[in-house]
Amino acid sequence: MSRETVRIEDLQTRIGESLGQSTWRTVDQQRIDGFADLTEDPQWIHTDPARAAKESPFGATIAHGFLSLSLLSAMAMDVLPAIEGQVMGINYGFDKVRFMNPVREGSKVRGQFTLMEVKRRSDNEWQLRHGVQVEIEGQEKPALIAEWLSLVIVPA
């Protein structure tokens, strides 16, 4: 997937525009287990398929909500345009994150990005706000919705 390159000033004309959807990514047990190891969160609903099949209301293990959220970085690289002359991009945080629907092991997810705001903070710093939904293949309700903030640093 080839990313378009845009001038930061030109993004202001695209506020409210859907920037597209990322590729599908499979959330398999290996990915869930790896995330559990990295975050030291081995709760059985994530890491014990046999127990989850018997005792969980989901009938299978589910991804950590933060695993689904962490995939946004890779999804954004699929979709968001490159900024001409960008020196650096910084994750500035979230104004809103809601985990709406569990991601069962083996599901495929993708991100849908909408540009919500472009705000100049200084001669070389811009703040972007993207509305994001992480969709689960075959399900109407998204895994999560969020408002994601980032800073773009350009030459002064």
* pLDDT tens digit sequence for 12-44: 999 999 999 999 999 999 999 999 999 999 999
Considering the chain, what is the average pLDDT of its residues? 96
pLDDT score recorded for residue 1:
52
Q: Cα torsion for 39, 130, 109, 27, to the nearest 10°?
A: -10
Interatomic CA distance for residues 6 and 81, integer angstroms? 6
Q: Is 155 exposed, middle or buried (0-12, 13-18, 19+ CB in 10 A)?
A: exposed
Buried b / exposed e across 8-23, counting CB within 10 Å, b at 16+? beebeeeeeeebbebe
8 Å CB contact between 100 and 62: no
**Res 156: pLDDT:** 82
pTM above 0.75, yes or no: yes
